Amino acid sequence: MKIAASSEMRLIELLHDLGIPAEAVFLSIDEKLVPETASVQKGQEVEIIYYKHVPPLSSPQEPRGHWKRAEYSKECAHCKSTPVIYLPYANQHLCSKHFKELFEKRVKRTVREYHMLNKGDNVGIALSGGKDSYALLHTLSKIRESLPFEMVALTIDEGIPGYRDKAIENARKRCEELGITQHVYTFKEEHGTTISEIGKKGKENLCSYCGVLRRKILNTKARELGLNKVAIGHNLDDVAQTAMLNLIRNEPLRFARFNEPLIENEKFIPRIRPLRNIREKEVAAYAFLHGHQYNSGCCCPHATSALRWSVRHELNSLEDQYPGTKSKIASSFNTLQKIVKDSVKEKNLKLNSSKEC
Ligand code: SF4
């Protein structure tokens, strides 16, 4: 969405006048990313890029707390270049080069911290073609330069007309450029139905069906291809949202099985989430700086009916007012995860399998 400023103002004020949390979008002027702390001249056009789904506009808000005080810097915190992003929790402006470097450093640190990758691993990357998997593909390709492991892309078409088609095409092109083998699977071929067909049968909460059916394909195909890990593009926002959803739905056991199955079984291929410590906004900006195209009008038509959608919106507003909120929720999630996991281990549960399993 492009908008012309009605007067000279800070971009954060423009966003708040429109009722859009800065956490939900990023901005560009003349196709260059600009931090929300920058000012815009009267009549100058600003492109507001929604990196996920278009959020409903809420009522205008005054910039509060941190954003009220945040001052624009014409220079990156590490060099003289023009900044493209402002990190409110660190009160830091960064240029494209230093932002990318910081991003990759943080992903590497996460990979080390959680012992996600080893030399010689055979990894399947869940590549939807969206910004998260796009950023994941790039960072894992970088990591591979110093830690050799095999990588193939697994792309799943849920059968949602007008939504996934373009993303799959983007994913195919990017795999070709990076020389990565891509396997594409469809719900229709693997499950005999599509998400749209399930929706037509009057089923509600389609995301629940979609998630289960997608995970099943990823696990089965990873086993068939002899992979020992599946990398997912979940970011910090996904972790914080999942934590809140588990609380809202009173499903504490789900805390324990976020990374791995509740009960260990050789039939479940472990999943890794290298972007889990990075805000969705930064993942989106990183993908944008690597040429990922955003299309505000193109989003899954079923997303807004899910509870996750409302949680996402609330967390974005909270992060806007209290930078660091998502990170703190994710830390609590890690602590709770350990407690629940230890208590499950004590019960020594066994997993029964059927003939079909
Ligand atoms: Fe599937 Fe829901 Fe994602 Fe749409 S928003 S692709 S239905 S999980």
Q: Which segments within the chain are labelled E, that is strand? A: 2-4, 9-10, 25-29, 32-34, 39-40, 45-50, 85-87, 92-94, 122-126, 150-157, 182-186, 229-231, 271-272
Q: What is the pLDDT of residues 150-174, one digit of tens each?
A: 999 999 999 888 788 878 888 899 8
d(CA 302, ligand 1 centre) in Å: 6
To the nearest whole percent, how much of the chain has pLDDT over 90?
A: 49
Nearest CA to ligand 1 atom 8: 207
Statement: residue 298 has pLDDT above 60: no
Higher pLDDT, 253 or 353: 253
The CA-based angle 191-194-196, given to 5 degrees, is 160
* pLDDT (0 to 100) of residue 117: 94
d(CA 109, ligand 1 centre) in Å: 30
* pLDDT (0 to 100) of residue 313: 86
| Calpha distance 230→265 (Å, rounded) | 15
Residues 212 and 336 grouped into a single domain = yes
Residues 119 and 226 grouped into a single domain = yes
Total domain count for the chain?
A: 2
Report whether residue 303 contacts ligand 1, using a CB cutoff of 6 Å: yes
Statement: residue 261 has pLDDT above 80: no
Q: pLDDT band at residue 119, thresholds of 50, 70 and 90?
A: very high
Atom of ligand 1 nearest to the CA of 164: 6
Mean pLDDT (the chain, rounded): 87
Strand 182-186's sheet: what is its strand order? 182-186, 150-157, 122-126, 229-231, 271-272
* pLDDT (0 to 100) of residue 101: 96
**What is the average pLDDT across 16-23?**
84
Residues 299 and 155 grouped into a single domain = yes
Q: What is the pLDDT of residues 37-77, one digit of tens each?
A: 999 998 899 998 877 665 556 666 666 667 778 899 999 99
| Calpha distance 123→260 (Å, rounded) | 15
Residue (of 73, 140, 118, 125) closest to 290 by Cα position: 140
Atom of ligand 1 nearest to the CA of 207: 2
**What is the average pLDDT across 92-105?**
96
d(CA 32, ligand 1 centre) in Å: 30
Nearest CA to ligand 1 atom 6: 300
**Range from 74-83, 200-209, 258-267 carrying the lowest mean pLDDT:** 258-267
* pLDDT (0 to 100) of residue 59: 64
Report whether residue 107 contacts ligand 1, using a CB cutoff of 6 Å: no
Tell me the three state secondary structure of residue 89: coil
pTM of the predicted model as reported, rounded to 2 decimal places = 0.89
Start-to-end CA span in the chain (Å): 48
Residues 192 and 45 grouped into a single domain = no
Q: pLDDT band at residue 17, thresholds of 50, 70 and 90?
A: confident
Residue (of 181, 178, 183) closest to 154 by Cα position: 183
Residues 88 and 133 grouped into a single domain = no
Residues 145 and 190 grouped into a single domain = yes
Residue count (the chain): 357
* pLDDT (0 to 100) of residue 264: 62
Report whether residue 247 contacts ligand 1, using a CB cutoff of 6 Å: no
Residues 55 and 184 grouped into a single domain = no
**Residue tagged 């997303």 (tokens):** 303
Asked if residue 101 belongs to a domain, the reply is no
* pLDDT (0 to 100) of residue 116: 93
Nearest CA to ligand 1 atom 7: 207
* pLDDT (0 to 100) of residue 53: 62
- CA 36, distance to chain mean position in Å, is 21
**Residue tagged 């410590």 (tokens):** 277
What CATH number does residue 184 fall under?
A: 3.40.50.620
Report whether residue 210 contacts ligand 1, using a CB cutoff of 6 Å: yes
**Range from 64-68, 202-206, 279-283 carrying the lowest mean pLDDT:** 64-68
* pLDDT (0 to 100) of residue 226: 95
- CA 300, distance to chain mean position in Å, is 15
Asked if residue 75 belongs to a domain, the reply is yes
Statement: residue 262 has pLDDT above 60: no
* pLDDT (0 to 100) of residue 100: 96
Which of 54, 131, 157, 158 to mutate to test ligand 1, by most ligand atoms within 8 A of the CB atom? 158
Domain that holds residue 20: 2-96
Report whether residue 207 contacts ligand 1, using a CB cutoff of 6 Å: yes
d(CA 23, ligand 1 centre) in Å: 21
Q: pLDDT band at residue 243, thresholds of 50, 70 and 90?
A: very high
**Phi, psi dihedral angles at 229 (to 5 degrees):** -150, 150
* pLDDT (0 to 100) of residue 74: 93
Residues 165 and 245 grouped into a single domain = yes
Report whether residue 300 contacts ligand 1, using a CB cutoff of 6 Å: yes
Residues 156 and 124 grouped into a single domain = yes
Report whether residue 167 contacts ligand 1, using a CB cutoff of 6 Å: no
d(CA 242, ligand 1 centre) in Å: 15
d(CA 320, ligand 1 centre) in Å: 26
Nearest CA to ligand 1 atom 5: 303
| Calpha distance 310→306 (Å, rounded) | 7
Residues 6+ apart with CB under 8 A from 182: 127, 152, 153, 154, 155, 171, 172, 175
Nearest CA to ligand 1 atom 4: 300
Tell me the three state secondary structure of residue 31: coil
